[in-house]
Amino acid sequence: MNGTPRGFNRFMLVLLGLVLMVLGAALLALAAIPAFARWWQDWAGRQVVQLGDLAAQTRMGSGAGSWIWLIVAAALLVLVIVMVSWIANQGKGRTNVLFDRTGTADDDGAAGKVVLSCAVAEQALKSALTERSDLLSASVTSYDFRGEPCVRVRVLPRQGVAPHQVAGDVGALVEAMDALLGVEVPVLVSIGSAARVRFTKAERVR
């Protein structure tokens, strides 16, 4: 529902996994296959010599370093900028406005603008859900999905609680909120589970 680039994230995870798999296979081959280890030593030695010659040919002056390091530094800077931009794009899509309407004098005799904050719906739903003893936790967040505000309700029921019952109760709360606000808001109900559900017991008064 949010603006996280999931496709790009999956591509990066697959690419990183392939790179790590190739590196792991190469290290295993170096340790287990003597012929491959000898070939690697010969090949790496030639590459080191070529890099040394290239560094000597690209010196910027007597006693100065190679200009290749400037290119490497610029490439690393670009990589850092790309990574910062990628991190900043994670979780985007949040919105603060649930309803926005500009009225005219023909509506009720007075022109004006009505802005309903998402905090109204979030606090109303979360307040009602946190009072339930059959839920371990509940979170309510608002997102902008294709230009339309939407609300995501995520609940974590205790062990033994029927998910369909929780979904029905949350749906009833959403319908009551729509009737109260006079606005029908798309809502995504997410019922999660966690390992701590099995180890957490409901509090009882004895």
What pLDDT digit, counting tens, does each position of 68-113 carry? 888 889 999 999 998 888 777 766 667 777 777 776 666 665 667 7
206 located within any domain: no
Domain encompassing residue 131:
117-199
Q: Which of 73, 88, 103 is the last residue of a domain?
A: 88
Q: How far apart are CA 98 and CA 18, in angstroms?
A: 43
The answer to whether residues 15 and 58 belong to one domain is: yes
In order, the DSSP letters of 158-200 are: PTT--HHHHHHHHHHHHHHHHHHHT----EEEEE---THHHH-
Q: Which of 68, 88, 108 is the last residue of a domain?
A: 88
The answer to whether residues 163 and 121 belong to one domain is: yes
pLDDT in tens, 32-59: 999 999 999 999 989 888 888 888 888 8
Q: How far apart are the first and last CA of the chain?
A: 43
pTM for this predicted structure: 0.50
Provide the domain count of the chain. 2
The answer to whether residues 152 and 194 belong to one domain is: yes
Q: What is the mean pLDDT of residues 117-142?
A: 84
- Report the 10 Å Cβ neighbour count for 149: 20
204 located within any domain: no
